[in-house]
Structure 1
Amino acid sequence: MDKMKIEIWSDIACPYCYIGKRKLEKALAQFPHKDKVELVWHSYELNPELPKKALDKTFYQYFAETHNTTEAAIKEDHIELIKLAKEVGLDYNFDQLVVANTSDALRLIKLAKESGLATEAEEVLFKAYFVDSEDISDRSVLIELGVEVGLSQDQIIKMLDSDKYINDIKKDIEYSENELNLEYIPFYLFNNKHIVQGSIASEEYLKVLKKSYDEWEQNGVSNERGDIISGQSCSIDGVCS
């Protein structure tokens, strides 16, 4: 069955991407034609320079160093973010968060996408990173999470032992920057037309969803760009605000 697509560029290390996912899900739950909407997940890796092994420092130490400020200032900046997460039922644990490279996690989502399980993979990885304080660069963690969503251990190991999907992630990033002028994530493209950069209120997601769906139902996939709505986001240089 043909469906209207909502394309999403995100990274597991983006706190607003998880919050935005929850808010979009709430909007979809209120939308009468949700069975005719498809979420298409794309990758945008915020910090590819991070080593494959998790850092031996806290989240607050890492961000204080990379943003030339103090740990106290970073903690203060994240108080409101923790409140926003709680509003959508998420208990962010920045005190125990493991700072890790997300490349292999994004590759796992690509693998899951081939089986129609990308949304499920996004969910377990977000939860592992922000709530459960797991190292999502760790091979055993990725295997466990992949099996949890329905992938086989063998196919996960085979992927991790290869370079599969690395070029796909690069292509996602290049396309989003060069063709869509992406500057912030989460980044949503509704029916190839309307753009949302950042996490917005569920009611606003629903408005864009309804407008995009009506246009899709009447005219099919759009070939022009429409409105741009901005919300709370992480910039491509890793600053979240």
Structure 2
Amino acid sequence: MHVEIWSDISCPWCYVGKARFEKALTLFRHRDHVEVTHRSFELDPQLAHTGPTTGAAHAKKYDLTPAEARAAEENLAGIAREEGLDYLVDFRDHGNTFDLHRLLQLSAARGLHDELLTLFYQGNFAAERSIYDSEHQVEIAVRAGLDEAEIRAVLADRRAYADEVRRDEAEAAQLGITGVPFFVIDRKYGVSGAQSVEAFSEVLRRAWAERQPVLTVLGTDDRAGCDAHGCETPRGWSTGEPRTPGI
């Protein structure tokens, strides 16, 4: 089963949604058969490299007073902490995430995407140092396991992995995705937002069940044994395995 997750590093609900989805996946008994792919999505692609603080940006974007913007941040901080995530209300810059996504595409090519995505979220929401500081980005990417020289080369060349970022964003547009986080399961189910662990668990179960063949048994009777058509186990005897595939 393939799960694709469109998200942006600047999005607090993506931070929370990732944690909730991973909890649901841990509880899912077929988790070893689930492939997760993270996709790029920029919420504010027109932003300058580094803009105003998050509070000021949200106040302007959502027409809030500074007090209302801070209250909203405090609320998000409480929700994140309930999921076991660190979250600082102050200190955060708000800026263009294109370079972060290019580095994430590099990490995907090196098999380290989840490691870097997790560290980028922590760097943005739980560190006093700006995630838009290129040296901070290099340090985080090295911690994730990437080669420092390769990281610096990607940051120096704005064309590096740009096509991969734009391809993800084009796919999002084709699928009608206008906000993140957005979860797509087998290109059949779409889940918008940081849903509860229970909601993610339910959609995983449903999607898995619909992938399995439904066994319809015809021509059975109460007799056990073998005849010209096949053999049955005696009634009341179990092999320990379900006869009908399920979730």
Between the aligned partners of 2:213 and 2:164, the Cα distance in structure 1 is: 32
**Pairing partner for 1:151 from 123, 137, 146:** 146
Report the AA paired with residue 96 of structure 2.
N
**1:193–1:160 Cα change, 3 Å:** same
Percentage of identical aligned residues: 32
SS of the equivalent of 2:95 reads: coil
Counterpart among 72, 77, 81 of residue 76 in structure 2:
81
User: Matches of residues 28-43 of structure 1 in structure 2 within 5 Å?
Assistant: 28-43=25-40
**Counterpart pick for 2:54 among 55, 59, 70:** 59
Which whole-Å deviations, capped at 9, do the CAs of 1:136-183 have from their partners, x for residues lacking one? 222211111111111100111111121112222222112212x21112
With the length of structure 2 as denominator, give the TM-score of the two structures: 0.81
What is the match of residue 127 of structure 1? Answer: 122
Q: Is the 8 A contact 1:39 1:119 kept in 2?
A: no
- Matching residue of 2:233: none
DSSP-derived class of the 2:130 partner: coil
Q: Quick one: distance in 2 between partners of 1:93 and 1:60?
A: 12
What amino acid maps onto 2:208 in structure 1?
Y
**Hey, what does 1:168 align to over in structure 2?**
164
Q: Note the C-alpha offset of 1:63.
A: 2.2
| Count of residue pairs the alignment pairs up | 213
Q: Distance in 2 between matches of 1:96 and 1:199?
A: 24
User: Contact between 1:129 and 1:136, CA under 8 Å: does it hold in 2?
Assistant: yes
Whole-Å separation in 2 of the counterparts to 1:15 and 1:49? 19
Deviant stretches of 4+, over 6 Å: none
Shift of the 218–14 alpha-carbon distance from structure 1 to 2, 3 Å rule, reads farther
Structure 1 letter corresponding to 2:162: I
Code of the residue aligned with 2:164 in structure 1: it is: D
**Deviation per residue, 1:176-234 (Å, 9 max, x gap):** 12x21112210000111111010111011111111212333449xxxxxxxxxxxxxxx
Among 135, 138, 151, the residue aligned to 2:133:
138
Aligned counterpart for 2:6 among listed residues 9, 13, 21: 9
Where do 5+ consecutive residues of structure 1 fail to align? 220-241
Partner-residue secondary structure (3-state), 2:9? coil
Deviations 1:35-60 (A, max 9, x none): 111110111101112212x23x4322
Structure 2 residues not aligned, in runs of 5+: 215-247
| Counterpart AA for 2:15 | Y
Larger radius of gyration: 2
- Hey, what's the Cα distance between the residues in 2 that align with 1:191 and 1:140? 37
The alignment partner of 2:131 has SS state of coil
Q: Which is further off, 128-137 or 14-23? A: 128-137
Contact 2:40 2:169 in 1 (8 A): yes
Q: From 6, 21, 26, give the equivalent of 1:24.
A: 21
Moved more, 11-20 or 31-40: 31-40
Change (3 A) 1:161 1:16: same
Superposed CA RMSD in Å reads 1.6
Equivalent residue, structure 2, for 1:92: 87
Deviation at 1:71, TM superposition (A): 0.6
Residues of 1 paired with 2:73 and 2:166: CA distance?
A: 30
TM-score (norm 1): 0.83
Letter of the 1:168 counterpart: E
The code of the aligned residue for 1:215 comes to E
Q: Is the 8 A contact 2:86 2:122 kept in 1?
A: no
- Alpha carbons 1:27, 1:205 under 8 Å: kept: yes
